[in-house]
Structure 1
Amino acid sequence: MTASSNPCGPALLRWSAQGVPDNWTRLAVAYSAGADSTALLLEARALWPGQVVALHVHHGLQSAADAFEVTARTTCAGLDVPLHVAHVRAMPARGQSPEDAARVQRYRALADLARASRVGVVLLAHHADDQAETLMLALSRGAGLPGLAAMPGRFERHGMHFARPLLEVPASALRAWVEARGVLFADDPSNADTRYTRNRIRQALMPAWDACFPGFRPMLARSARHAAEAQGLLDDLARIDLVSVGEPPSITALQVLGRERQANVLRHWLRVGWGVAPTTAQMEQVLDQVAACRTRGHRIKLKVADGTLSRSGGHLAFDRAGGTAPI
């Protein structure tokens, strides 16, 4: 089937041409009822008729959430697209932002809904503006390559395949198309709240970049892809080094490696095994202690993210409250 004038069309066709999960017979669209996910849902339905379901997560964080669900139900009924809704209470834990809490709950709910709906992949409507904002946010925090890689186009979470086929499509193109079609969609009032850093980037930095560098969004998306490719190579090297240093890492085996490779393999071990990312200052402390650990009585006990990195015999050990790795 050829793509329509919907800007999602070419992007979806490129995504499907790159290969889809082997077990998929139907796909799902994470449908917030906003303009972006509405455009994605309409084009997915057009390209794969009868194979698309919509998944909506009601976060319960704002009064407008009820209206989002009503819009989702109305639009899906008009399109004859099955809609599955999950209600979650995304209350942040201590030290966790409301946005992070909502994100964690959303992905878990989407994965559960997708499995119950017997779909193989969930499409997300993140677009070029979202990718640019993510990269700008990472730059402002002094992030390394994992942060500069921004949002991946494909990933797995909670045992489910997710994909972001629209990362090079501008938000303005999606909204303009939906508005021209006269399709019902909802606007999230929280997007105007400048208490959130991402909204300040959207309202202040993005227009400034537009004025200085028209058409910059695909360029930032390209930079994020380059960072992701470089991080992939570092991950390959870390897996090789992890074979030699072992799990948990041997201190003497780490000392054979250069400082940069020590940092790379330890970051990989902590990220993959425990889901944590040490700060630059924390990693520098760890590397200093690894270098100084030349006697049997040398103790290592350092705070790293939400846990403690310590010496256990001739190896490093990571412990956190509860003592378990994340699911």
Structure 2
Amino acid sequence: MAYTFRSALFSLDAERAHRAAIRALAIWGSLGSVFSSDMVESPIQLGGLTFPNRIGLAAGLDKDAEAIPGLFALGFGAVEVGTLTPRPQPGNPSPRLFRLVEDEAVINRMGFNNGGIDAALARIAKLGPRKGLLGINVGANKDSTDRVADYALGVGKAAGHADYITINVSSPNTPGLRDLQSRPALDELLAAADAARAGTPIFLKVAPDLDRAGLEGAIRAALDNRIDALIVSNTTISRPPLRSPHAGEAGGLSGKPLTELAREKLIEAAEIAAGALPLISAGGIDGPDEARRRIDAGATLVQVYSALVYKGPGLPRAIAKALAR
């Protein structure tokens, strides 16, 4: 059945398939416990929170918080929605999302398309008790004249609804956004987020394209500003050898070709942080074996997204079971 559903989605262009998947998950979640199975329980502590298991959904799939119950029903211990900006914005022109089937990869240049944080928080407020932890990923509007203020506003609004908040300064699809990963800009941003958090844990998400000095600067800024964890990493603008006809598309690359780079950056981050900052690994995790490698390399939790496109909805539960063992 899962294969049939995947075939139906692959018959659509990537963005239409994405929307169809969100609608299906929203419907599934609305049916409650009828089709949901028990979550794999293997509790782990991070940032003062107890995560039910080590597998989380990375931001980008459920941008507008439309399918949270359905995503938890897949077995995720944590679901991260967004990226959400203070004001609604359409994102970049289409086409902007590409499946690289031959490479089990995705290239996107979505550009923080979302209906705005207020609309998403209104949906979240209507939900009942959650099976796992909810993360809200926040960003700045493309045309903002004060991006630090955008992040502080997002953090302040999300604080009453999220179990944790992720600061996304690592998307390559908003011009100039990645510049905020460098000090002193990052210190200013994180200090503003810290002041607005109202006690909610904050995670910082960085790009895999940072060199060692840039990664060290981001980690030091995170420690100096009481950030609770580092997510390593987002999509890459680098291009390893690819076979797909879409290989030349601009945007962030995710999926299997990111595996080696994301693992290397995790190892580097673990060396720099030396246990002082918890790490969450994302990028190119496509099954239990790679998830275990990331835990062994220093991650406390792992996140997936693009692998769901190719491995299907059973992936989070399979990873959770393997890591629980």
State the TM-score, normalizing by the size of structure 1: 0.31
Q: Which has the higher strand share?
A: 2
Look at both structures and tell me which one has the larger radius of gyration over its CA atoms. Answer: 1
Higher relative contact order (CA 8 A, sep 6+): 2
